Amino acid sequence: MNARPGAIFHITFPVVARTSFGLYGSLWCTFNRGVMACIWYGVQASIGGDCMKVMLRAIWPRVNNIPNHLPESSGTTTRDFMCFFLFWLISLPAIWFPIHKIRHLFTLKSIVAPTAGITFFIWCIVKAKGVGPIISRPGTIHGSELGWGMVVSLMSCISNMATLVTNAPDFASRARTPSAALWPQFWSVPIGFSLVSFVGIIVSSSSETIYGEAIWSPIDLLNRFLDDNPSSATRFGVWFIAASFVIAQLGTNISANSISAGCDLTSLFPRFINIRRGGYVAAIVGLVMLPWNLLKSSNQFTSYLSAYSVFLSSIAGVMITEYYVIRRGRYRIADLYNSDKTGWYYYTYGINLRAYAAYISGILINVVGFAGATGRDVPLAATRIYQMSFFTGFGISMLIYILLNILFPVPGSSIREGFWEVDLSDATDTPEAVESVIGRTDWE
């Protein structure tokens, strides 16, 4: 839904955000998304570094024995930082290419990543002589606890996608047709995520049979395969899978993070930054933020994702409402690049106060529950609301925004008045006739 404006008008997220938050009010939303792109770049690079470590160890087993010369306070070791830096370094040339020319990387990724995943899946089942005990083990929670456990897990998955939901127009702006932004996502997101999750569960279940413990990280499991003098065939198999995962992480980092940061930072500092430079800024921030410290605890990282999705879901709720309800698919593109006070998107000194009221409302509904997630004692209802943070933030911001636009309609709103198409090329259309329909005198 949020990708469609980009596919229709071929504009990126920072520009689409101007329609709802205002020419200058959108800068805060753009800054939020740009910060998340830089943070995620570091996180994905850290995971890519782990893949690089396994790949190098499969080629040169002595890599695992590199002595550590870094202090404990650094949060990493000499070996791990070397692997992280190598992945970070090979990512830099990919940022240089324009968006439309980097597609060949994704063609390669679409071939090697599924091949590696399926190979890993079959290899683990054969090695364990079955799918392992996790599949047949009975559940340990039941009733409402089970239901809310599923909700929390689902929200964790959605929080992982919250950034891409928000800046979907960045990718859709290159779509040739609106359907190109719809059907690939419609099928690939639910099917792709489900299949990858299924493979991960089976592989982890097999690891319990092989090693006596469930190893939930596929990289850690590949690393275990290299213990105890593995054969040449095992080392080659691990190298192929790890190398494929390196390519997969590289593609994810370029598409989801460097391009997003480039678009956002270009909007914030157009005189100094373009998409390419913005990508390199994200790479530098991803290096200096020491992302391995963020990934020390999976629970801590999941909590961080859930917390930040509260902010992004409110932004997405306002943007989607603006396009489908307030404007009904009609934008005035010239006003998106013009600070004329008579423009549709100038609002109040360039800021749409209605959008910010809805945005803050979507955040406030989850504040008490967020306090509970940090260890405070809060009512159970607040906890449940926060556990559905993406949908509660999205829904509240949507309702508040619709209500405020009914009470205080904006120029170009479709809530009180419909739209009429006017053929301005018709010689019979006089300036007065056009003005009576579109409500403006500065027509051409």
Q: Give the span between the Cα atoms of 380 and 378, in whole angstroms.
A: 6
Task: Report helix, strand or coil for 123.
Answer: helix
Is residue 230 scored above 80 in pLDDT?
Answer: yes
Residue-by-residue DSSP string for 305-356: HHHHHHHHHHHHHHHHHIIIIISTT---GGGGG---TTSTT-TBTTB-HHHH
Q: Give the span between the Cα atoms of 26 and 359, in whole angstroms.
A: 12
pLDDT (average), residues 250-266 = 91
Confidence of residue 441 (pLDDT cuts 50, 70, 90): very low
Q: Which two tokens stand for residue 378?
A: 């809060």
Q: Give the span between the Cα atoms of 19 and 25, in whole angstroms.
A: 10
pLDDT (average), residues 426-432 = 50
Is residue 421 scored above 70 in pLDDT?
Answer: no
Task: Report helix, strand or coil for 133.
Answer: coil
pLDDT of residue 193: 87
Report pLDDT digits (tens) over 379-391. Answer: 989 989 988 888 9
pLDDT of residue 419: 59
Q: Give the span between the Cα atoms of 69 and 406, in whole angstroms.
A: 64
The one-letter amino acid at 428: T
Q: Give the span between the Cα atoms of 189 and 341, in whole angstroms.
A: 41
Task: Confirm if 237 and 245 have CB atoms less than 8 A apart.
Answer: no
pTM value is: 0.85
pLDDT of residue 400: 97
The one-letter amino acid at 46: S
With CA atoms as reference, report the closest residue to 330 among 422, 260, 404, 268.
422
pLDDT of residue 372: 80
Q: Give the span between the Cα atoms of 252 and 267, in whole angstroms.
A: 22
Is residue 331 scored above 70 in pLDDT?
Answer: yes
Phi, psi for 348 (deg, rounded to 5): -110, 105
Helices 232-253 and 78-96: crossing angle, nearest 10°?
Answer: 50
pLDDT of residue 131: 81
Q: Which two tokens stand for residue 432?
A: 């007065």
Task: Confirm if 125 and 131 have CB atoms less than 8 A apart.
Answer: yes
According to DSSP, residue 139 is labeled: P
Enumerate the H helices of 129-226 as residue ranges: 143-166, 168-172, 183-211, 218-225
The one-letter amino acid at 207: S
With CA atoms as reference, report the closest residue to 216 among 299, 126, 114, 129.
299
pLDDT of residue 264: 93
Task: Confirm if 327 and 412 have CB atoms less than 8 A apart.
Answer: yes
Report pLDDT digits (tens) over 115-147. Answer: 999 999 999 999 888 887 777 778 888 888 899
Is residue 443 scored above 70 in pLDDT?
Answer: no
Q: Give the span between the Cα atoms of 162 and 93, in whole angstroms.
A: 27
pLDDT of residue 31: 94
Mean pLDDT of the chain: 87
Is residue 364 scored above 60 in pLDDT?
Answer: yes
Helices 78-96 and 26-59: crossing angle, nearest 10°?
Answer: 120
Report pLDDT digits (tens) over 22-73. Answer: 999 999 999 999 998 999 899 999 999 999 999 999 999 999 999 999 998 8
Percent of the chain with pLDDT over 70: 91
Task: Confirm if 166 and 264 have CB atoms less than 8 A apart.
Answer: no
The CA distances from residue 324 to 162, 182, 309, in Å, are: 20, 15, 22
Task: Confirm if 317 and 395 have CB atoms less than 8 A apart.
Answer: yes
Q: Give the span between the Cα atoms of 275 and 163, in whole angstroms.
A: 18
Q: Give the span between the Cα atoms of 356 and 351, in whole angstroms.
A: 8
Report pLDDT digits (tens) over 269-296. Answer: 999 999 999 999 999 999 999 888 877 7
pLDDT (average), residues 412-422 = 66
HSE, side-chain direction, 13 A CA sphere, residue 169: 25
Of residues 79 and 383, more confidently modeled: 79
Residue 351 pairs in a beta bridge with 348
Is residue 429 scored above 70 in pLDDT?
Answer: no
Q: Give the span between the Cα atoms of 183 and 190, in whole angstroms.
A: 12
pLDDT of residue 417: 63
Confidence of residue 163 (pLDDT cuts 50, 70, 90): confident
